[in-house]
Structure 1
Amino acid sequence: MASRPTIADIARELQISKAAVSYALNGQPGVGEQTRQRVLDVARDLGWQPSASARALGGFHTKVIGLALARPVQTVAIESFFIRFLVGVETALTKRDWSLLLRIIGDHPDQEVEVYRKWWGEGRIDGVILVDERHRDPRIAAVDAIGLPAVLCGGPRRDTSMPCLWTDQAADAATLVEYLAGLGHRRIAHIAGPAEFAHERSRQRGMQRAAARCDVQLLSMAVAYDAASAVAATHSVMSDPTTAPTAIVYANDVNAVAGERALDGSGFSVPQDVSVISWDDSPLTEMVATPITALARETEAYGEQAATVLLDRIAGVDHGRVRVTPSRMVIRESTGPARSRR
């Protein structure tokens, strides 16, 4: 097996001192910007990674954690989830006098690992929070291979040593379906988010199982997290009066608000004709004509817990798989008894 590239290899390649290489890799003064960039380029080409054990033994910490969001900028700007999550992260970091390095890289999940690799190689961070777990997520093995301390907001997974903060999506799905079934709804539409996300797949499976237990017909479709997609999906599921659902569950608050407005614009009354539920609660669900019933999560606490688990991981304490606080139903005016249709 090939030996791991070292600082000496980089120095030999560039014919400069090991001290100069060290200064460049750790973002310290002592080398010019051109030399620093040459060192970083060669380090990347050779596949060099910093030694986590060497850092730990040396007691070196930047006291900075990283988070790259591979979501479209418009989504991050509209969805309150990320803002509330980041507030929680900052709360935990402030308590320990740490900082957050944040980058929004747009809809380019393939670039996320390279961002972390660069930050870690430059000595700019001590760990990362991974959000938006994807189906067959390549980041898990890649971050493990780099040796970068991390916490996954997802899972639970058994194929990684990193801690996982997981939400019981099946339990949330059961809460939604059982509530609607109790109101007499027997045809429910689930307008889910993109199937590339692991949590959306878990939610769809949970909805299907809960619907089968409650003798409910379930129509499920996946759309983007934006208003236009939610409107198109709403028109689609309501297009045939003989099969139209009496209740619709939307993936998030933005989709739910857009869906409710689409229903109103098409002549359907909420909740008299159709009940509406959002899988994510925020002030947005109350800023509409008919406030929307939603599953509420302690998002700020979730962000604080994620940062705390990561800081503990960096300090050598492993919390393993952690189940987050269960969601709770907040009932508002958008849900009511099912109206029978002939």
Structure 2
Amino acid sequence: MPYRPKNSRNWHYDFQIRGRRFYGSCDTEDFEEAKAVEAEARVAARNAPEVTRNFTLSEALGTYFSEVSTHQPSAKTTMSQFRSILAVIKPATPLSKLTDADLMRFRSTRRSEVSNATINRTLAAFDRALRHMEKTHGATLATLDFGAKKLPEPKERVRELTLAEQKRLFENLRPDLHPIVQFALMTGARQGSICKLRWRDIDVDTGRMTFRMKTDSGTSAKSMTFPMSSENKALLSTLPRATDPKHASFVFTFEVQNRRMKSRRRILQNSTAFEHFRAAVRAAEIEDFHFHDLRHTFATRMLRKTQNIKLVSRLLGHSEITTTSRYAHVIDSDLAGALESFSALDSKESRSPSRSHNKNTI
């Protein structure tokens, strides 16, 4: 029944359905009208997705984005992925009514527009969104086989920045982005880890940094410690800090201008910083190079210097050394060079029997 709170002229309703609470104002002082409003609210509540657990595709993707993706550096990518899904599969489709045929239709439609890798990443994000709705909101899901829809991908390439390309990149890069690129080359840290790095993660006394890293599920719960070199410390000691408390705790910030053309430093997440990086790559005429390739560059240079794949694997934060094996070509090329300078037939041991034989036959 409607009730009237203290100091309120209007009647209110407050009830529960299947453990969910629904409450609000009836926006009327008339008790009979209030009862009718409450009755309508009860009917609407019984059909609400949080009660029926029958969410639509649009509601599921929107909920996942607002609760999970919006806080991640890849938010723009996720938004683009979800829009591509809704462009093929009807947004009002209930999750319980989704079929493998819907996934196949999405795959075939997008295959003529984007790469297999892009489709696979989108399907993975799709799957994560559905699992989130099931686990967090009790959504009723159809049985879908996302794994069977995965398309073959070419072996991941390893793109190393040459020293000449590196020089051109810095010549064309905005000065306030130099520290970000330098740090990536020094540590091999992922873009997301650099965006999330805070001053509290830097411990100069122990010479350690803590990186927040992605996991196989696409979340950012995993972390790893990384040793600080003197070069790291020197770079970090020169970084300007944002004055706004919301941004001041982050190590790397990006200089932006407001409408009054005043410069302020802002966090990298959801900024245009990496668009400026891509523009610098194009201006430097560096082909087929992305920010993640700075990580590849660090790995190949470190492996070339140390010849220790286990060490490099730990520095990259790989859980399996097989993931690091893509860089083994560096060691292979050095092995080939070593063999080229080695001759088994030109050793003293190989020549002495020949001399002995010649002596006996004179």
**TM-score, L = length of structure 1:** 0.28
Higher RCO structure (Cα 8 Å, ≥6 apart): 1
Name the one with the larger strand percent: 1
Structure with the greater alpha carbon radius of gyration = 2
TM-score (norm 2): 0.27
Q: Which has the higher helix share?
A: 2
